[in-house]
Amino acid sequence: MTTFFQLLIYGLQLGSVYALLALGYTMVYGIVGMINFAHGDFLMIGALSTVFLAMAFMNTSSAALSAIQVITIILIAMIGTGLIGVLVEAIAYKPLRDRPRMTALITAVGVSMFLQNFPRALPFIGPNPRPFPRLFPLVQLNLGGVTITSTQLIMLGLSIILMVILYFIVNKTPLGAQMRAVSMDKDAALLMGININVIISLTFFIGAALASSSGIFYASIYPQVDVYMGSWLGTKSFIAAVLGGIGDIRGAMLGGFILGISEIFATSINSNLGYMIGFIVLILILLFKPAGLLGKFSIEKV
Amino acid sequence: MATILSVKNLTIKFGGLVAVEDFSVDVQEGELLAIIGPNGAGKTTVFNMLTGIYKPTSGSIEMDGKNLVGMRPHQFAAHGLARTFQNIRLFHNASVVDNIKMAYTLHSSEKFFPALMRTESVVEQEWELDMEVMRLLKIFNLDQQADLLSKNLPYGPQRKLEIVRAMMLKPKILLLDEPVAGMNVAEIDEIASLIAQIREKFKMTIILIEHHMNFVMPIADRIKVLDFGKTIAEGNPGDIQKNPKVIEAYLGGGYHAIA
Amino acid sequence: MKFSKRFKSILPVIGLAALYGLIMLLKSMGIANNYHIQILMFAGVNIMMTLSLNVVNGFTGQFSIGHAGFMSLGAYGSAIITTLILKPSVIPASMEIPVFLLSLLVGGLVAAMVGYLIGLPTLKLKGDYLAIVTLAFGEIVRAGLRLIEPIGAARGMIGVPNYANLAWIFLFVALTLFFVRNIIYSRFGRAWIAIRDNEIAAEAMGIDSTRYKIISFTFSAFIAGVAGGLYAHVVSFIQPDTFSFVKSSDLLVFLYAGGSGSLTGSIVGALLLTSLPEALRFLASWRLVIYALVLVIVMLYSPKGITGGYELPFLRITRKDIYENRGKKISETPLQETKEGDV
Ligand SMILES: Nc1ncnc2c1ncn2[C@@H]1O[C@H](COP(=O)(O)OP(=O)(O)OP(=O)(O)O)[C@@H](O)[C@H]1O
Ligand SMILES: [Mg+2]
C-alpha cells in the first residue's frame, strides 16, 4: 500500500509536468488548429535558460538562491520563453495559416529541429547534458512510509495554481471570451472586431510560458538538462492532450495526470512498458471515444 | 407509374432543434419532384438523409423493398441515389474527366493486381471508360474542358460538372440541391434544358431543391413545401402557387421570389 | 506508332541503366567512393519510403506520421529470415538471391498485414486523430522490439548479410515507381484522390472510403516493409531506435519538401535531403541548423514543395497515353495539357 501511494505521488508529479505542457498543445490546437510540434522545445528553453539565469544569480550573490531570486528566475524564464513562442509564431507559422495543415506541421518539425540544434551548435551550450541547480529547499516529509519532498509539494502546488489561473483567464475574463470566440469561428470573431493576431500571439505566449514552467519543474525532479529533452516530453504531452480531448483545457489537465500516473505505475513493472503505456492508453481511448475523453465531435454541416 | 422510393416519417434532431419532422413521400418513376421552402427550412437536411450523410432520428427510406437507414453514404449511392451539393464539392485537384471517372469507381471491374501491372485488359478498360466519359461530356457540352483541373472551371460549369458526375453513377434517382444557385439568366436556361435532356434521354427520376420559383414551376410535376422542418403543402405547381400557407411562409421569410 | 510506343516505355529503363553505368564508371575512375555509393543506397531506400508515405498522405489525404514503424517491421521481418532462421553461413552462394528476395517479401507482407490490422479500426478516425494514432503505433512497435530478447532487444541485430547492393536498390526503386504510378492512374488511385479532395463527396459518389483507405494503407505498408528489408541488408545492423519518430518525421520532411502528391517530388525530396546533410558535414554542428532553416524556408516559400507539382513524363499516364497505347488517335476529343500535375 505504501508503494502504491509512493508511486501515486511520483505519478502526480510527472503528471503535472505533462499537464502543463499539454495545455500549450491544446490551446494552440484549439485556436489555430495546428499541431505545434515545436512546443516541447519550449520546455527545454525554459529549463536551459533557468540554468543560465541561476548561474548569473549565483555569481552575484555567491550563496544559495533566495526565494525572491528563485521566483524572479522562474518569471524571467517563463516570460522569455513566452516571447520566443510569440516570435516563432510570427516568423514561421503566421504565413501558413491558410495553407494545408500538413504544411504547418512540417514547418513545425523544422522549427523544432532549429530550436534544438541552434543551442546545440552554440559553443557555450553544446550537446552535453548539464546539471540543473536546486531551486527549492530540500525537506523530506515522511507520512507512514510514504516520502514526500518539499520540491514535490511546491511543484504540485505551483502547477495547480498555474492551471487554475489559466482556467480562470479562459473562462471568466473578456480576454478568455475572445479566445473562445476565435477558437469557435474565426470569421465571426473577426466580424465582432476581435483582433485575431493578438489573440493568437497571446495563445502562443501563454502556451510557451507554461511549457517553460513545466521544464523547470521537470528538471527539478530529474536535474539534468539537454537540448533534446523537449522532443520526447513533447510527444508524451501531446498524447496527453489528445487523449483528454484536444482543444479542451480540462482535457489536457486530465490527460496529463492520467498519462503521468499510468506511466509511473507501468515503469515500476518494466521501463519499456512504461514508455509504451501512454501510447496504448491513447489508442484504447480513441477507439472508444474517437474525440478523446472530454472532446466532442459535431456533425459536419453539409 | 411505379413507386421507386418510399420515404416515411423522416425526422432528425440536432440537439434541441428539430430540423426535419415527419417528412414522407412516395417518389414515382420518371417524375420530377421539387422541394421548396425558405432558408433553413430543412431541404438540404432531407437530401443529407436521403443520401446517408445524416442518419435520421426516426423514419425509414425504402428502395427495392429495403430500408436504407443506417447504411453508409456509398451504399445509398450503390442503391441508385446520386446527388449534387448546394456548396460545390468537386474533386478540386482532379481534371474534369477524372472527376467523372471517380464516380465510376463503384461500377469499375478493375482489380488491384492487374492495375498494379497495368495489364492489357486494364488498358482496355481505361480506354473504354475514357470513351464513355467523353461521350457524356459531349452530351453536356463540357468536352472542351475535359482536361482542365475542376477547380479552374468557372462557377457555372462547376455546377454542371457536379450534375454530370452524379449521372456517371447511373443512378435511379438524381437529387439536385439548388442547381442554379448563383447563376445568371443564360446559365439558368442552360441548366433547365440540361435537366429536360436528362429526363428525356435517360428517363431519369429527379428530386430538386430550388428557391427560384420561375425555374421550378414550369418543370416540376409535383412540389413539396417545407417550412421549419414541417411539410406545409404538397401538390402540383398550380395549386402550390395559390396556396395561402405557402405565400405566408415565403413572405414571412422575407421572400419575394414568387412569380 | 508501334515503335514509338515501345520506345516510350523502355526509355526510363534505358535512362536508369545509363545512370547506373555512369555511377559505376565514376567509381572505377575513383571519383565516386564507397561512401558515396552508401549514401546513394540510403537515398534509394528513402525514395521508396517517401513514395510509400506519399500513397497515404499525398494521394489518399490521410495523415500517417509513424511510417518508420512499418519500415522497422519490414527490416526485422526480413533480417530474421536471413540472419536468424537461415544463418548467413549456411546459405549457399547460389541460394543467396532467392533467400534475399524471399526475406524482402516476408518483410513487406509482415508490414502490410500489420498495416491492414491497425488500419481496420483506426482509419475511421479523422485527420489529426489518425496522425496521432500512427505516431503511437510507431512508438509502440519500437518499444515492443526493445523488449524481445531473441532479436537483440534494445541492442538490435548485428550481422545481417549485406546482400543489397546499388543494383538491387535501383531495381526496387524502379519497380516501386512503376507500381505506384500504375495504381495511381487506375480505379484505386482515383478513389484515393477523390477521398483526399473531398471525402463526403467521394462517399456520395459511391466510393467506400474506409475500404479504399485500408487498401491504401496496406499497399503503403507493404512498400515500407520492403524498403525496411532492403535497409537492413544495406547496413547489416538494425536497432529499434533507428526507427523512431525522428525517422518518421524525416520521411514527412522528404515528402512535403519534395512535393506531396507527386512521384517526382518524392524522388527529388528524398534524394536531395538525404544528401544535403552529408554535403553539409563540413559545417559540423551547424549542419542541422542550416538544414532546419532550409526546410522552413522551403515550406514557407514553396508550398507545393521543391518540384511544385511537376511530374516527369514517364511517371504519369495521360489520356493521350491511354489512346496511343491502343494505337488510336483521339481526333474527336480535344486534349489540353494539364499544366499543374493533374493529381
Ligand atoms: N450538422 C448540423 N448540425 C446542426 N444543425 C444543423 C446541421 N445541419 C443542418 N442543421 C440545421 O438544420 C436546419 C435546416 O438546415 P438546411 O441546410 O437543411 O436548410 P435548407 O432548407 O437547405 O436551407 P437553405 O435554403 O439555406 O439551403 C438549419 O437550422 C440548420 O442550421
Ligand atoms: Mg440547403
| Ligand 1 atom at shortest distance from the alpha carbon of B46 | 18
Helix (H, G, I), strand (E, B) or coil at A147: strand
Residue B59 has pLDDT above 90, yes or no: yes
- Check CB contact of B53 with chain A, cutoff 8 Å: yes
Residue identified by cell 520563453 is A81
Distant-in-sequence, close-in-space partners of A80: CB < 8 Å, separation ≥ 6: A45, A49, A212
In a domain, B197, yes or no: yes
Residue identified by cell 507527386 is C262
- Check CB contact of A302 with chain B, cutoff 8 Å: yes
- What separation in Å is there between the alpha carbon of C225 and the centre of ligand 1? 46
Give the model's pLDDT for residue C308. Answer: 86
The DSSP result for B61-104, as a single string, is: EEETTEE-TTS-HHHHHHTTEEE--SS----TTSBHHHHHHHTT
Looking at the structure, do residues B138 and B257 belong to the same domain, yes or no? no
By the 8 A CB rule, do C275 and C39 touch? yes
User: What is the tens place of the pLDDT at every residue in B34-48?
Assistant: 999 988 999 999 999
Residue identified by cell 428557391 is B211
Nearest to C342 among B94, B126, B165 (CB): B94
Nearest to A121 among C57, C289, C299 (CB): C289
To test the pocket of ligand 1, the residue of A298, A301, A302 to mutate (highest count of ligand atoms within 8 Å of its CB) is A301
Residue B163 has pLDDT above 70, yes or no: yes
Question: What is the distance between the terminal CA atoms of chain C, rounded to a whole angstrom?
Answer: 28
Looking at the structure, do residues B13 and B66 belong to the same domain, yes or no? yes
| Domain termination residue (choose one: B145, B168, B191) | B168
- Check CB contact of A297 with chain B, cutoff 8 Å: no
CA distance C10 to chain A (A): 36
Looking at the structure, do residues B194 and B139 belong to the same domain, yes or no? no
Distant-in-sequence, close-in-space partners of A23: CB < 8 Å, separation ≥ 6: A163, A166, A207, A210, A241, A249, A252, A253, A256
Distant-in-sequence, close-in-space partners of B185: CB < 8 Å, separation ≥ 6: none
The arithmetic mean of pLDDT across residues A157-171, rounded, is 92
In a domain, B98, yes or no: yes
**Chain B residues 182-221 with CB within 8 Å of chain C:** none
B127–C322 C-beta distance less than 8 A: yes
The DSSP result for B200-249, as a single string, is: HHH--EEEEE-S-HHHHHHH-SEEEEEETTEEEEEE-HHHHHH-HHHHHH
Give C174: exposed, middle or buried? Use CB within 10 Å, 0-12, 13-18, 19+.
middle
Residue identified by cell 517491421 is C73
What is the span of the domain harbouring residue B56? Answer: 1-80+171-259
| Best residue in C190, C199, C260 for a mutation probing chain B (most B CBs within 10 Å) | C190
CA distance A190 to chain C (A): 25
Out of A82-96, A179-193, A250-264, least confident range: A179-193
| Best residue in B12, B43, B54 for a mutation probing chain A (most A CBs within 10 Å) | B54
Which ligand lies nearest the alpha carbon of B48? 1
Residue A43 has pLDDT above 80, yes or no: yes
Residue A76 has pLDDT above 60, yes or no: yes
Q: Which residue in C has a C-alpha nearest to residue B92's C-alpha? A: C197
Q: How far apart are CA B159 and CA B175, in angstroms?
A: 13
Residue B259 has pLDDT above 50, yes or no: no
User: Which domains occur in chain A, in start order?
Assistant: 2-288 (1.10.3470)
Q: How far apart are CA B74 and CA C203, in angstroms?
A: 5
Q: Give the number of domains in chain B.
A: 2
Residue type, C249: S
Backbone angles phi, psi at B226, to 5 degrees: -105, 145
In a domain, B87, yes or no: no
Distant-in-sequence, close-in-space partners of A131: CB < 8 Å, separation ≥ 6: A223, A224, A225
Query: Nine-digit cell at C322?
Result: 491511354
Give the model's pLDDT for residue A135. Answer: 87
- Check CB contact of C186 with chain B, cutoff 8 Å: yes
B89–C203 C-beta distance less than 8 A: no
Residue C11 has pLDDT above 70, yes or no: yes
Mean pLDDT for chain B overall: 91
User: What is the tens place of the pLDDT at every residue in C148-160?
Assistant: 999 988 899 998 9
User: What is the tens place of the pLDDT at every residue in B95-120?
Assistant: 999 999 999 999 999 999 999 999 98
Looking at the structure, do residues B64 and B177 belong to the same domain, yes or no? yes
- Check CB contact of C63 with chain A, cutoff 8 Å: yes
Give percent of chain A with pLDDT exceeding 70: 99
Give the model's pLDDT for residue C3. Answer: 52
Nearest-CA residue for ligand 1 atom 24 is: B39
Give the model's pLDDT for residue A142. Answer: 87
Query: Nine-digit cell at A214?
Result: 513545466
By the 8 A CB rule, do C270 and A62 touch? no
- Nearby residues for ligand 2 (ion, Cβ within 5 Å): B 44, 86
In a domain, B89, yes or no: no
Q: How far apart are CA C77 and CA C224, in angstroms?
A: 12
Give the model's pLDDT for residue B127. Answer: 92
Give the DSSP H or E segment for B19. Answer: strand B17-28
| Domain termination residue (choose one: B168, B188, B218) | B168
Distant-in-sequence, close-in-space partners of C288: CB < 8 Å, separation ≥ 6: A113, A116, A117, A120, A121, C277
Backbone angles phi, psi at C145, to 5 degrees: -60, -35
Q: Which residues have CB under 6 Å of ligand 1?
A: A 299, 301; B 14, 19, 37, 39-45, 86
Q: How far apart are CA B128 and CA B107, in angstroms?
A: 13
- Check CB contact of C320 with chain B, cutoff 8 Å: no
C126–A283 C-beta distance less than 8 A: no
- What separation in Å is there between the alpha carbon of B3 and the centre of ligand 1? 28
Looking at the structure, do residues B76 and B177 belong to the same domain, yes or no? yes
Kindly indicate the confidence band of residue B149, based on its pLDDT and cuts at 50, 70 and 90. very high
Looking at the structure, do residues B64 and B179 belong to the same domain, yes or no? yes
Helix C287-301 / helix C263-279 crossing angle, nearest 10 deg: 150
Give the model's pLDDT for residue B252. Answer: 59
A107–C299 C-beta distance less than 8 A: yes
Nearest to C200 among B89, B166, B169 (CB): B89
Residue A17 has pLDDT above 90, yes or no: yes
Q: Which residue in C has a C-alpha nearest to residue A283's C-alpha? A: C133
Kindly indicate the confidence band of residue C7, based on its pLDDT and cuts at 50, 70 and 90. low
C203–B73 C-beta distance less than 8 A: yes
| Ligand 1 atom at shortest distance from the alpha carbon of B47 | 18
Chain C residues with CB-CB distance to A241 below 8 A: none
Nearest to B91 among C197, C325, C336 (CB): C197
Looking at the structure, do residues B177 and B76 belong to the same domain, yes or no? yes
Q: How far apart are CA A211 and CA A19, in angstroms?
A: 9
By the 8 A CB rule, do A292 and A242 touch? yes
By the 8 A CB rule, do C334 and B146 touch? yes
Chain C adjacent subunits, 3+ CB pairs under 8 A: A, B
The arithmetic mean of pLDDT across residues A269-291, rounded, is 89
Chain A adjacent subunits, 3+ CB pairs under 8 A: B, C
Looking at the structure, do residues B62 and B32 belong to the same domain, yes or no? yes
- What separation in Å is there between the alpha carbon of B242 and the centre of ligand 1? 27
Long-range CB contacts (within 8 A, 24+) of B127-136: B127/C322, B127/C323, B127/C325, B127/C326, B127/C328, B129/B101, B129/B104, B130/B97, B130/B101, B130/C319, B130/C322, B130/C323, B133/B97, B133/B100, B133/B101, B133/B104, B133/B168, B134/B97, B134/C332, B134/C333, B136/B100, B136/B164, B136/B167, B136/B168
Q: How far apart are CA C337 and CA C322, in angstroms?
A: 14
Looking at the structure, do residues B119 and B60 belong to the same domain, yes or no? no
Looking at the structure, do residues B182 and B130 belong to the same domain, yes or no? no
Residue C322 has pLDDT above 90, yes or no: no
Which ipTM was obtained for this model?
A: 0.93
Q: How far apart are CA C188 and CA C186, in angstroms?
A: 5
- Check CB contact of B14 with chain A, cutoff 8 Å: yes
In a domain, B88, yes or no: no
- What separation in Å is there between the alpha carbon of A169 and the centre of ligand 2? 39
Kindly indicate the confidence band of residue C1, based on its pLDDT and cuts at 50, 70 and 90. very low
| Domain termination residue (choose one: B149, B168, B187) | B168
Question: Residue B232 sits in a domain of what CATH number?
Answer: 3.40.50.300
Give the model's pLDDT for residue A2. Answer: 85
Query: Nine-digit cell at A246?
Result: 484536444
In a domain, B135, yes or no: yes
Looking at the structure, do residues B176 and B76 belong to the same domain, yes or no? yes
To test the pocket of ligand 1, the residue of B43, B47, B84 to mutate (highest count of ligand atoms within 8 Å of its CB) is B43
- Check CB contact of B44 with chain A, cutoff 8 Å: yes
Looking at the structure, do residues B68 and B1 belong to the same domain, yes or no? yes
Q: How far apart are CA A223 and CA A135, in angstroms?
A: 10
Give the model's pLDDT for residue C328. Answer: 66
Out of A75-79, A225-229, B186-190, C84-88, least confident range: C84-88
